[in-house]
Amino acid sequence: EDKVVQSPLSLVVHEGDTVTLNCSYEVTNFRSLLWYKQEKKAPTFLFMLTSSGIEKKSGRLSSILDKKELSSILNITATQTGDSAIYLCAVEALNYGGSQGNLIFGKGTKLSVKP
Amino acid sequence: GAVVSQHPSRVICKSGTSVKIECRSLDFQATTMFWYRQFPKQSLMLMATSNEGSKATYEQGVEKDKFLINHASLTLSTLTVTSAHPEDSSFYICSARDVGPPEKLFFGSGTQLSVL
């Protein structure tokens, strides 16, 4: 059964801290791994990773995929209170015979950044 | 950027009634739309995938007769929760994408369904 596991499930830090969120997966026909940030209601896209070892960066956020270890990390440096959210990891796996993939979501990591 | 509109944002209904939730892509044609369910403090769970002009594909354990999905046009998909019961109370989110990679996946703002 395909699955995506995130750790930790929750994390409380203080502003300025650096955090690392983990995502591991077991899927057949892996296509890509995605990170989303969910604040109020709808998730917003952060990164899509398809190749191992290539870091994607956006401001204080960065992410990298390790296809050998079947995992990815999301780093946030110099955290701010506005980073408080649930961070979701999702893996796209190809359907049998199909070109469109389903997204399998992990349970998410709830990050709370205290002032 | 692309926008997906979902409404209503909140609905409270009596047990036994049916509720329709709409998901519209506002500035692109969505050949595929996805419906998710999210319980408090839990992640998004894919319920079904709907493709324009064809029957939806439901995930294992999701009752297709209870959660009716219609993707009648390239910009609109609807989810109807039939004969809703309190255990159907949940947060429902849709997402839509055009042909292309999954970063072009856009989420609606969600619908909080409360069944009394």
Over residues B6-57, the pLDDT tens digits come to: 999 999 999 999 999 999 998 888 888 899 998 887 778 889 988 888 889 8
Nearest neighbour of A101 by CB, restricted to B36, B102, B108: B102
CA distance A108 to chain B (A): 6
Rama region for B102: left / alpha / beta (φ>0; ψ in -120 to 50; rest): alpha
pLDDT of residue A98: 44
Higher-confidence position of B47 and A97: B47
Average pLDDT, chain A: 90
CA distance B36 to chain A (A): 10
Q: Residue written as tokens 């009394």?
A: B116
B102 band by pLDDT with thresholds 50, 70 and 90: low
pLDDT of residue B98: 67
Overall average pLDDT of the B100-109 stretch: 74
Calpha distance B75→B96 (Å, rounded) = 9
DSSP for chain B reads ---EEEE-SEEEE-TT--EEEEEEESSS--SEEEEEEE-TTS--EEEEEEETTSPPEEPTT--TTTEEEEEEETTEEEEEE-S--GGG-EEEEEEEE-SS-GGGEEE---EEEEE-
> Residue A97 pLDDT > 80, yes or no?
no
CA distance A41 to chain B (A): 6
Residues above pLDDT 90, as percent of chain A: 71
B2 band by pLDDT with thresholds 50, 70 and 90: low
CB spacing of A43 vs B49 below 8 angstroms:
no
Mutate to test the interface with B, among A2, A29, A41 (most CBs of B within 10 A): A41
Query: CB of B42 within 8 Å of any CB in chain A?
Result: yes
